[in-house]
Chains A and B, each alone.
Chain A
Amino acid sequence: MRSYSITTKPFGKQAILVEWPKEVDSEILEDIMSFVQFLKQHCLDNKIWEIVPAYNSLTLIQRSGTVVYQEMDVLLKKWYAEKTKTNSALRFLWRIPVCYEEEFGIDLADVAQRLKKSTNEIVKLHTENPYTVYGIGFLPGFMYLGGVPKTLEIDRKKIPRLKVKQGSVGLAGKQTGIYPQDSPGGWNIIGSCPIPIFDPRVEEPCLVNVGDQIQFYQISKAAYDLHKIEATVGIYQIEKVVLNA
């Protein structure tokens, strides 16, 4: 695996930021996630430290006490140099069902018209390739997905909606994603996912990790209704494939 030139910056008295080259690049993300794994296994006490990865950065936050920046800077660079010997954590490709029927994909016809394609072509493009999870934030369980095909790039809606329903699947610019809860939003809504991506009632509320991949697949309204029931009663299992076995 490639090694990068990393830099650190102080981030208040309780955190330190580590940065990789400023690029959206799945190899950089993979390097970051293998460093996270190494730090968790060999370097940092998980009861004291939280690690938040996103795109080209890693933020280490200490629950209490003060981060001595100069010391951590030296340690992090030393650990990064040592890390090449370790294996990455398992990464998964999650297969996520989406119903693109008009009832849910309230902007699908409009998106098709603006991109001069049929709705079927939009669905095909959206489900063709997997997307990489570059970050989880903004809202609990909100995934920043990268890898939207150029032919699907479309401006966000001019007037945002005050309420976008939980599960809605949206498109905006280079991004696509699922609204993990009802919230205001300006993305074009092309479908709905019947299963919750974030469930606070279980110890691991969000199964997806940064570095994983998401592949959407089309389902009928009947399958949507069934999966919704299965998810509500807790028997739905999201399909997953190990990427780096």
Chain B
Amino acid sequence: MLNVLKSGFFTSVQDTGRFNYRHKGVPVSGSMDAVATSKVNALLENDSDAALLEITMTGPTLEFEKDTYIVLGGADMNATLNNSPISNYCVYKINQGDILSYGKLSQGFRAYLGVKFGFKTESILGSRSQYVPITIDACIKDKDQLLYDPCPQFEPKIQALKIAEIADQKVLNVSKGPEFEILSDRDLEILFSKSFTVAKENNRMAYQLEETISQHSFTMLTSATLPGTVQLTPSGKLIILMKDGQTTGGYPRIIQLSTNSIATLAQQKSGETLRFKLI
């Protein structure tokens, strides 16, 4: 078991997501920064859908009850293992009783903790990703215990990766969305030349942006949306749906973020600025 001594601001179990239920209104969920989590699981030689902890803004304090190996990734929260600093994308051996804790957020917004074989919390509808009401809780709480299989011995093929941090990339690559054509020339110019600021309304469901483009009165029938879909409200506000985003919507879907750009956005917090680039 992993004992949650302190849960942090918002720490949840996530895997690659919950597929095949979108037609029943169930969001896909899964890790927001899938680029980081795939590297973490690769270093641990885990299955790509092994469950990790997604740690937002302020980290937890965790105690390991069994020997294992861990890898951290994503945001830099100055993590320490038994009070000694440890780095992202590096395999560490964990002994029974070790304490992992986090310090100040210094880069990015979401950090990941991967454990050898992945966390073995309950799988519901094919995924361990926490999302209410599919799971009872949206995130882990103090005193929770998370199951993992012990691993006394593991010789990683690669011990550590040196990676340019994704949080430094401030450009979101997008393709045209289904309702791209409703954008005027002026809107297109604003959209692809100005920078946009992440609003304080940002979470696993959606990121809103502070700047607006033109108001519109285009109406459409409710239709499917995806993680990374950028919706335009009638007042000209841009809403970028993320992993827990609703599966259908009635606002025009003007542009669509690439998978890597969803990961980039997941590492931004309110007040940070971004640009869109049409590819």
Contact = CB atoms under 8 A, between A and B. Distances in A.
A171 B177 CA distance: 32
B23 interface: yes
Contacts of B222: 54-55, 134-135, 137, 144
B87 interface: no
A200 B24 CA distance: 11
29 contacts: A10-B176, A11-B253, A11-B256, A12-B258, A13-B175, A14-B226, A14-B259, A15-B224, A50-B19, A50-B20, A51-B23, A53-B23, A56-B221, A57-B221, A61-B22, A61-B226, A136-B248, A137-B25, A137-B224, A137-B246, A137-B249, A138-B246, A140-B134, A142-B25, A180-B133, A198-B25, A201-B124, A205-B24, A206-B24
B125 interface: yes
Interface of B: 19-27, 124-125, 132-135, 175-178, 220-224, 226, 228-229, 246-249, 253, 256-259
A139 B25 contact: yes
A64 B24 CA distance: 20
- Residue among B20, B125, B133 with most chain A CB within 10 A: B133
Contact of B226 (A11, A24, A138): A11
Given A12-B229, A63-B19, A140-B134, 14 more contacts: A9-B178, A17-B178, A22-B220, A52-B248, A54-B248, A55-B221, A136-B23, A137-B248, A137-B249, A138-B25, A138-B248, A138-B249, A180-B25, A200-B124
Interface in A95-113: none
Contacts of B228: 12
Given A11-B178, A52-B248, A141 B223 contact: no
B221 A140 contact: no
A200 B133 CA distance: 8
A54 B176 CA distance: 21
Contacts of A215: none
Dominant secondary structure at the B interface: loop
Contacts of B257: 12
Nearest to A11: B178
A210 interface: yes
A141 B24 contact: yes
Given A10-B176, A140-B133, A54 B26 contact: no
A17 B223 contact: yes
Contacts of A132: none
A92 to B, nearest CB: 15
B125 A54 contact: no
- Residue among A13, A59, A201, A209 with most chain B CB within 10 A: A59
Interface string A47-73: 000111111110101010000000000
B120 to A, nearest CB: 19
Contacts of A136: 23-25, 248
A209 B22 CA distance: 12
9 cross-chain pairs, A with B, having the tightest CB-CB distances, nearest first = A137-B248, A59-B224, A12-B256, A55-B221, A52-B224, A206-B24, A57-B223, A137-B247, A140-B25
Interface string A121-142: 0000000000000111111111
A22 B247 CA distance: 20
Contacts of B258: 12-13
A18 to B, nearest CB: 10
Nearest to B135: A200
Nearest to A36: B23
B134 A57 contact: no
A13 B133 contact: no
Interface in A124-173: 134-142, 144
Given A22-B221, A137-B224, A50 B133 contact: no
Contacts of B226: 11-12, 14-15, 59, 61
